[in-house]
A and B are shown apart, each in its own frame.
Chain A
Amino acid sequence: MTTTEKPDTLLRILDYSSRADPYPLYAELRETPVARQADGSYVVSTYREIAELLHNPHLSSDVRNLSRPMEAVQGRTTPSFINLDPPEHDRLRRMAMRHFGPPHTPGLVTGMEDDLTAVVNGLIDGFAGKEQIDIVDDFAYPFPVTVICHLLGVPREDEPRFHLWVDAIVNSIDYNPETDPKEKLENGVQAREDLRQYLAGLLEQRHGKPGEDLLSRLANDDGPDGRMTDEEILATANLLLIAGHETTVNLITNGMLTLLRQPQMLQRLRSEPGLVVPLVEELLRYEPPVHIIPWRAAYTDITVADTVIPKGSKIMLMLASGSRDPNRFHDPDVFDPDRRDNEHLGFGSGIHLCFGGPLARLETQIALTALVQRLEEPTLVTDPPPYRPSPVLRGPIHLHIEQNKN
């Protein structure tokens, strides 16, 4: 059944004032699993319906299949695979995965463990002598950025340049023509172009020079699918740089925030290091870094939960709401690392399942383990902390903590 009883629930979720705790609003949203919005789009907020749609071949990630154009994502030269359907999606993702994971590059992520630990410990060494530590600026942001730069082959010292572009791009993801200044969109478009140009410069140096980094490997690939065009490489690198930048930071910060709010859990992790594996999974369910898939397109009429979503409709998938659905998870609002059967939506599902998930997992496991081992009785300075603007990639913009000074 489609109802539009509470058309404002979504707007309240998107509003910045609910950023610190959107979960009660998600519960309200779930009263109507598939809710038609005033603009004709659909919001899906329950676990089974989201999971069903993520495996439904009649759903498209290609913006051209939306009946109403979307300014925030249109006008790009070459889309990355996150915004493509099979067979193009499959081809590009496969070509990128050749250099990142099994079966062709099986040991890459696990082989990074020592390096990741070294980076993490270096950052924690830097806390020495500080009155207050900002878990975001001093740790959770620089760590994954260092890692993704190394992986891609992007000079770490250029970070101040592309940081601004990435910020502008992320801020434009949820651009709403009715409420947002046009500037927000234009900044995003300009930032995309600047970042593309920057990456194009790096790519040019890689042709004919085989190396270990992803850009070099993509530029010189001779796999069964041939080589990506330069435009495809740029789109892929762009995607991985942004995703590698803006997601793990939230996962690590949300993790630390959750542990600081439950000191007995922090203590437990300290004494049971093996707990970190299920704990990070529970974190992906309970406080995920990506809350929303902002849009998918109905390629044909799609029936879900007895609602017919007409062809061409925009569909918004509320992943973080699905992972708190009481019809799927027992006591969903309890953070319980001992939870079994924890098939959360933290990395999405289906063919677009998070490409970097294995790396994000390892990064967060190493980061939280080191933080709880090395911080002395850490406490939160402000709760809730201030949040980033985005309701999609949701997380604190700063997380100030203090340590026991003894």
Chain B
Amino acid sequence: MRRDISLFLFLLGVGLFNWPLISIFKKSIIPYLFIVWLLFITLIRVFVTLSEKEEGDR
């Protein structure tokens, strides 16, 4: 897995789970947090799988 992808995912997560973005969803913060959380995990999985495949191809 590439270092810049890891960094990108981390920064994306920090952005998604912190002010100011979460203040936009203040009214429905619970579903927002859980849905985004699950999507974030899925995103990590996708990148991990892609990197595994890439490594296998190589």
**Genuine A/B complex:** no
Residues of chain A having any CB pair with chain B under 8 Å: none
Residues of chain B having any CB pair with chain A under 8 Å: none
